Structure 1
Amino acid sequence: MSRSLRCCVPFALVLLCSAVSAAPQNLTVISFGGATKQAQDKAYFQPFNASGAGRVVAGEYNGELSKIKAMVDVGHTSWDVVEVESPELLRGCDEGLFERLDPARFGDPAQFVPGTLSECGVATYVWSMVMAYDNGKLARAPSSWADFWNVADFPGKRGLRKGAKYTLEIALLADGVKPEQLYEVLGTAEGVSRAFAKLDQIKGNIQWWEAGAQPAQWLIAGDVVMSAAYNGRIASAQKEGMKLSIVWPQSLYDPEYWAVVKGTPNKALAEDFIAFASQPQTQKVFSEEIPYGPVHREALKLLPATVQQQLPTAEANLAGARAVDAGFWVDHGEELEQRFNAWAAR
């Protein structure tokens, strides 16, 4: 079957089309490795291979755009699909590193979490920066970032990520800024100063973390009484029997995306794979393996309530959350990180 005909058929017929092919076509899919890649292998890579639509050759990288840019610049693209974080998706799209995608290939946009379909990418999952605490070490449960700042009622160290991103948002939320106004405020000089002034209030109580595993470790050891943390890390600790809890209101959520590298000769197959990985059933398997939120709303209905409760895209958890504004950090990240580093060093 010719590639032009194959591109025109809906994904449901890909198996039929591929059945008349001599051999499945290879598709190089690059992601971030670790537990996420293991979950992707079970949910997406192996089932896609079994469908006969193509054969995933899986690899991993650290998310750097430089490798992708080098391929595109020389016109020799050896990667087809890459997992990218939201700021890199915007940068890569603007720089012409990713193919424009046809949103009609992936289903009804209304069935996807807002912000998870874009011209250059389709989100594969959503993670959140949340507040976590050990419910066995506090007299009462905290319920907001304002409680995080309340060292009188919750004495002890607090864990925060060592960087401007997420930390400045958290400071403004603690200072009473509404989630929907967060980046409007942070986009002003007065708003930035307000965030740093808020951080000044508890600077002596902050224990800065740089690795995602540290918050859970510190909470379990009693080194901190509460911490900002990646929801997946806390869920993993809970699975191991640790009595840690998550505060979902005012959490900050961010999607990770599939993108197609510019110039790949396998664009049609790449879109087939992304469509396959965007179905409720495959996303259900992924979220059962690792507690990141599916982007297709129907996937949640397939999951047990106990699993849904751990996911950023569950309706109750998403209700009080705020999406991280990737465009804001692309535009202002460098200057704010420099100011944060100078502030932290004082």
Structure 2
Amino acid sequence: MSKSAELNVLTHDTAEIQEKYLLQAVINAVPTPIFFKDSEGRYLGCNRAFEAYTGKTRGELIGKGVYELFERELAQVYFEADKALFESREHQVYEAQVAYADGSVRDVMFHKAVFQASHENVEGIVGAILDITDRKKAEKMYQDMALTDALTGLDNRLSMMNHLGHAFDRTLRSNSSLALLMLDLDNFKEINDSYGHPAGAAFLREAAGRLKRSVRKADVVSRLGGDEFAIILEDITDIAQATHVAEKILAQFAQPVEIDGHCLTMGGSIGIAMVPAHADSVTSLMKHSDIALYLAKAKGKGGYSVYQP
């Protein structure tokens, strides 16, 4: 080989080495974990962010497969995802919750694709792991806001309807009973008019707290709007359990509440309907509990009424 040819080969090799180091420097600068594997699932390389994610150096990762590096359950998830990607030959995007080497648990989104390096005769997978923890927290916050009554912190009407639909279906499958208690505060309008909206808001928050203290942790308490509340009692055996809860609530409401130096009377009226005794659908359950509430209010303040078919 002539000196000129040798020089060309040397120059080409040097350029390839420089390109390799340049590529590594570039991906190391990316804060997102990046990795690439061969067709057998062995790691060919990664960036520093991926080292931080796994808690392993490139030297510890390269040449090894997922079963050699991760716990079996996690390794199986990675293996199956890689297998599906190779079979589809398409891009792969999925979300997961993973534990970083520093002990933090984060929501991430995997973006993966098959690559082919024809010059090196190498085929494999390249992937990036995007941290979406903040986005998931924001999504949950907005979801909670959409389902929560801002004033009292209780479930709102939309959330109650979702819970009621699911509870109704479970009740039919389990052959148990479900009760819906509809409640109106007896003196809210007078308090709101006499002492102002801040006092009215405090009154509603106190009512919400008393309702929560009167039921089981699993029971759903919601504010439907204004001074209207609803309580879903699931997995009960008979009407006596529902009326017992109503009596507890009324006993709580019989206690005066002090707001801005004023000793106020709370009071409430409750209507009760049950599945399957009184209703065969969510719509009829709500309608019949409303009818029972109307009857309770007609009898006088501070009482409850059970729907009578």
| Same fold (TM > 0.5) | no
Q: What TM-score do you get using the length of structure 1 for normalisation?
A: 0.21
Q: Which has the higher contact order (CA 8 A, sep 6+)?
A: 1
Q: What TM-score do you get using the length of structure 2 for normalisation?
A: 0.22
Structure number having the greater strand percentage: 2
